Amino acid sequence: MAVIKAEVRSGAYYDSIVLMQLQRALAEQPGVEDAGVVMGTHANKEVLAQSSLLVAEAEAAGNDDLIIVVRGTDETSAQAALAKVNELVAARRGRAGDQEYHPRSLETAAKMLPEAQWVLVSVPGRYAAGVSRQALRLNKHVFLYSDNVSLEDEVALKQEAAQKGLLVMGPDCGTAIVNGIGLGFANKVRKGPIGLVAASGTGLQQVTVRIHQMGGGITHALGTGGRDLSEAVNAVTARQGLDLMARDPDTKVIVLVSKPPSSKIADTLIQAARSVGKPVVVNFIGYASASRRVDNVFFATTFDETAELAIRLIDSPEDFAAQPDLSRFAPGQRYLRGLFSGGTLQCEALLILQNYVPVVYSNAPLDKKNKLEDSLVSKGHTVIDLGEDEFTVGRLHPMMDNDLRIRRLEKEASDSEVAVILLDVVLGFGAHDDPASELAPAIAAAIRSAKEAGRRLEVVAIVSGTDGDPQGIEVQIQRLRDAGAKTEISNDAGARYVGRLLKAIERASQPGTGPTIKPVDLQALKNPLAGINVGLESFAESLKDQGAQAVHVDWKPVAGSSERLVSILERMRQAQ
């Protein structure tokens, strides 16, 4: 009959590779059916219980105690296996094979490898903040793989780092690729023009992998740790990363990935992304965006789509850094008046415009609270659907009869606060047989009288029709242009143009004083990567495998495993 024997060691520190290897070695001992070597946390005890290994001694162990448990075919085998624990651990240490000298402290490592820009930290969570703080003190960027780090520590570390122009990627940051070298878990990905910032480990890996598989490549992929986009952390690292990618001349397309962020932080980051002058693909997993595109920001919902979009945007002919022309607007000119004949075109325009201006009033608004009290009287930004039932009792549809629209156009154009008029001109069978013949003179007159009053009136006409339509689309467009209107054949493009213009006008009148962050030196990404590794030795080996310089620190917690003492020592050191 099987016999279970357990041993609990208090205050012992072994790194998790040692524990895994010890467990495996025990399981291979003669007469041993199963073995468990785990720290005495609640979750770990449950795992033991599921394997029927949780005996009373193990159950009594605390979070910081090491449980070693063995199930043997008989008492002797179980006892014999347990008795070999020290020997097996020592053997593992001997087998490590690596005869290199390992410094015992970060300070020594930094002297050995002064060009190191990075410190990789993968010690157990309770020690990780302390090690990271030492790294910042040495002016190193930190790749903080460890999890189980407190939120308070994360906030403190990131704020300290940001003040020094340093990055703290993490805690719980699984992956990064800097200048072709992977930190932590990372794939071998082609170099190319896509730069990534992600509060997500395997998400970032999957996107970089898919980019590679689809033939694309990356500049850098920066992790931020999964909590970076929480309100408490305030996306410090993500904003630093975005700023780096914006400044990096090799990065043509930026990708932002995160597990579902706080919606406040998501908005902040999207606003930041809109001002980088490069296309940005955003995948905030599960973030439902009513628009798939806002300016230079494109929303994706899966990693595949993120990779596809990023690759497609590399060769986009659009100039994402272009700024709208604001010349000749008079002070006070700022409002849009949209006069639509097409209800759904109006609806799409409203939807797009809400990405640019806070409120657009309408007789048919997206949100009832923005309904005009009087459809005939505009206020602020207003976009009217003149095809609504209220306007068509005993009256032809505005696609057939331009009278009402022209009267309204004259009225709006005379308003000194109006900067832009947006119209749709719908061609096709059934519609007016020559709308430009009536609209163009009215537009020309409106622009002329605004000009006489010292204002610039921007008129944008969306012409919806095909080359087969009876009105002759080319002639209609030419006539509207001759009258001074800007024309678009896409409602989407027309509304976005107007949105950007309105936003630029608004921004020009209220110069922003948003929070700025201290820029991180781009050279941190550009110089050949060199890293100091504290924790999982395999991460140092991995750096070397990739041709990067690395020094591994033979780290042990100070004063045994007592993190309280560590913290006291830490504070004493800080006080010096």
Number of residues that bind a copy of itself (CB under 8 A): 116
Choose the binding region for a copy of itself from 106-114, 270-278, 520-528, 532-540 (rule: CB under 8 A): 532-540
Q: Rounded to the nearest whole angstrom, what is the least distance from the CB of residue 9 to a copy of itself in the complex?
A: 12
By CB under 8 A, tell whether 415 contacts a copy of itself. Answer: no
Q: Which of residues 440-459 bind a copy of itself (CB under 8 A)?
A: none
Q: Which of residues 275-294 bind a copy of itself (CB under 8 A)?
A: 285-293
Pairwise CA distance, residues 51 & 33, whole Å: 11
Q: Which of residues 248-267 bind a copy of itself (CB under 8 A)?
A: 257, 259-260
By CB under 8 A, tell whether 384 contacts a copy of itself. Answer: no
Please state whether beta strands 280-284 and 32-39 pair in parallel, antiparallel, or not at all (unpaired).
Answer: unpaired
Pairwise CA distance, residues 103 & 61, whole Å: 33
228 phi and psi, to 5 degrees?
-60, -35
Cα four-point dihedral sign 260, 261, 264, 266: negative
Choose the binding region for a copy of itself from 17-25, 83-91, 108-116, 515-523 (rule: CB under 8 A): 17-25
Choose the binding region for a copy of itself from 92-100, 231-239, 425-433, 498-506 (rule: CB under 8 A): 425-433
Please state whether beta strands 293-294 and 297-299 pair in parallel, antiparallel, or not at all (unpaired).
Answer: antiparallel
Is the N-terminal amide bond of 515 cis, ω within 30° of 0?
no
By CB under 8 A, tell whether 425 contacts a copy of itself. Answer: no
Of the candidate residues 200, 219, 268, 370, the single one contacting a copy of itself (CB under 8 A): 200
Q: Rounded to the nearest whole angstrom, what is the least distance from the CB of residue 29 to a copy of itself in the complex?
A: 16
Please state whether beta strands 297-299 and 335-340 pair in parallel, antiparallel, or not at all (unpaired).
Answer: unpaired
Q: 208-227 mask for a copy of itself (x: CB under 8 A)?
A: -xx-xx------------x-
285-289 long-range Cβ contacts below 8 angstroms, 24+ apart: 285/200, 285/203, 285/257, 285/258, 285/259, 285/260, 286/260, 287/260, 287/261, 287/263
Of the candidate residues 105, 546, 549, 562, the single one contacting a copy of itself (CB under 8 A): 546
Cβ closer to a copy of itself: 324 or 428?
A: 428
Identify whether the C-beta of residue 434 lies closer than 8 Å to the C-beta of residue 348: no
By CB under 8 A, tell whether 429 contacts a copy of itself. Answer: yes
Q: Which of residues 389-408 bind a copy of itself (CB under 8 A)?
A: 389-397, 399-401, 403-404, 407
Q: Which of residues 109-138 bind a copy of itself (CB under 8 A)?
A: 124-125
Cβ closer to a copy of itself: 204 or 459?
A: 204
Choose the binding region for a copy of itself from 92-100, 133-141, 503-511, 531-539 (rule: CB under 8 A): 531-539
Q: Rounded to the nearest whole angstrom, what is the least distance from the CB of residue 353 to a copy of itself in the complex?
A: 12
Q: Which of residues 75-94 bind a copy of itself (CB under 8 A)?
A: none
Cβ closer to a copy of itself: 288 or 321?
A: 288
By CB under 8 A, tell whether 562 contacts a copy of itself. Answer: no
DSSP H helices in 510-545: 523-526, 537-545
Q: Rounded to the nearest whole angstrom, what is the least distance from the CB of residue 531 to a copy of itself in the complex?
A: 12
Choose the binding region for a copy of itself from 93-101, 269-277, 346-354, 449-457 (rule: CB under 8 A): 346-354
The alpha carbon of residue 525 and the mean position of all alpha carbons in its chain are separated, in whole angstroms, by 19
Whole-angstrom CA distances from 552 to 19, 81, 96, 104, 398 are 19, 32, 13, 9, 75
49 sits in which H/E element: helix 42-50
Q: Which of residues 150-189 bind a copy of itself (CB under 8 A)?
A: 172, 174-175, 182, 184-189
Q: Which residues contact 66 (CB under 8 A, 6 or more apart)?
A: 8, 9, 10, 12, 14, 19, 37, 38, 39, 40
Pairwise CA distance, residues 82 & 25, whole Å: 11
Name which of 346, 333, 341 is nearest 383 in CA terms. 346
Pairwise CA distance, residues 443 & 436, whole Å: 10
Q: Which of residues 305-324 bind a copy of itself (CB under 8 A)?
A: 305
By CB under 8 A, tell whether 347 contacts a copy of itself. Answer: yes
Q: Look at residue 268 and give its three-state secondary structure.
A: helix
Cβ closer to a copy of itself: 334 or 405?
A: 405
Of the candidate residues 33, 57, 250, 348, the single one contacting a copy of itself (CB under 8 A): 348
Of the candidate residues 88, 162, 204, 265, the single one contacting a copy of itself (CB under 8 A): 204
